[in-house]
Structure 1
Amino acid sequence: MTDGQTSAQTLIPARQLADLPPRFPGESAGYRSARNALLAEEIELRRHIERVAAQRRALPPGGAVPEDYRFEGEEGPLTLSEMFGEHDTLVTYNWMFGPQRARPCPMCTSLLSAYDGEMPDILQRVAFAVIGRSPIDKLAAFAKERGWRHLRLYSSGGNTFNRDYAGEDPAGDDVPALNVFTRSGGTVRHFWGAEMGATTADPGEDPRGAPDLMPLWTILDMTPAGRGQDWYPKLEYGNKAR
């Protein structure tokens, strides 16, 4: 198979790969047995993630963007096609920080804080734009307060990008959205957009995509208490920004 995929017929069964002897000090036979069973499921999950990623990459061409949206950036105006820079792929994140908000969404802010640290690596492969409907000065002022250094911020206050690609009502609340666009031969197309949300969530779950985009939740999912049922990130803890 192509694209780094290994034929399913050649894969070693996950349970066989997970059949490990005791590894950590003091662990019981019962713990190791349960842990190996879990490890087999983790191996299967990794394989499923790989299959889904390959299916995503194989999508047919998406729709051409209806217009070359014009944004305001920290260094002046530019269009969606100009956001690509030297790359042929552009990732956009719709930041919930519209003009009706005095402060941005804490969940979006937590996610973007993590992305800021990864951005020098991400930008080696693709272009990445953070888009909000507030004026660019307002977006940039919060980014400075937060200590962000690498995110590229743009205001969509003068266009319909957020409405078209995040499903926002201009008079209503902000909506978060991650979208991927491609550029080829002068044509910009929508490649993929996150479409999992409240309508696709299972009972008792917070609406989210898969794999989860937030490193915060990925870490907490590995702990005994998990994500918790009544905790969300905040903009400040003890009056100190994090």
Structure 2
Amino acid sequence: MEFQQIFTPKIYELVIAQIKEMIYHKKLVKGDKLPSERELASQLGVSRTAVREALRSLGMLGLIVSRHGEGTFVASAFPEEKLFEPLSLIFMLEDNPEELAEVRAMLEIQCAALAAERASAEELSLLGACIQDFQYSQEGPRLAEVDKNFHTLIAKASHNTLLYYLYSSIHEVVSHHIVDMRYLIISDPRNSKILAEQHLKIYESIAAGNVLGANQTMAEHMRFVRSKYEQSIEG
């Protein structure tokens, strides 16, 4: 019988754990100012070096921000490039297009349904502009960019912050996925027409506030994209 060696956590990790626990229990909320390094070190009974390392780590994650001459605060808004990078890297490392397609479909279908309920007039206008671009743009790279913007706008129009964060956490991977799929699909002119029609139906459902229609049209679009991917693998 062998026992595993027990490692004592580093002090700064315990500091991080306590700050996270206070956030979890709402003792710290967005915008709250943290005590100074000296005060934190005194209250926690640790060195200022440990506190400094903990704050540096939390800052790298975007959970806290330091303002010169003011102090350190719990972030009120989260920089997307920091917040989403860990999950994006995980998806890249997993390199499983089928799982990505499944996750993307779940997120996008729900985003479309919520957007039908909640999209603002400005967001509908932006989506409408994308539809115009779909109809008149001919270049592959431009169409891929429009496609990406269209889906991102729908995620934002869901007005569900956590859902948007989940979508955005795989944004970079999804973007590559959209580009790859679009180049694959538009190699056949008939597919380009189908894509344009599908996006128009999605937009019309969202603009009409048709939740069920938005759900169904987005699901149809996701099935089409996935079928073309599967055909490419089989071919």
What TM-score, normalized to structure 1? Answer: 0.22
Structure ranking higher in helix proportion? 2
What TM-score, normalized to structure 2? Answer: 0.22
- Structure whose alpha-carbon radius of gyration is higher: 2
Structure ranking higher in strand proportion? 1
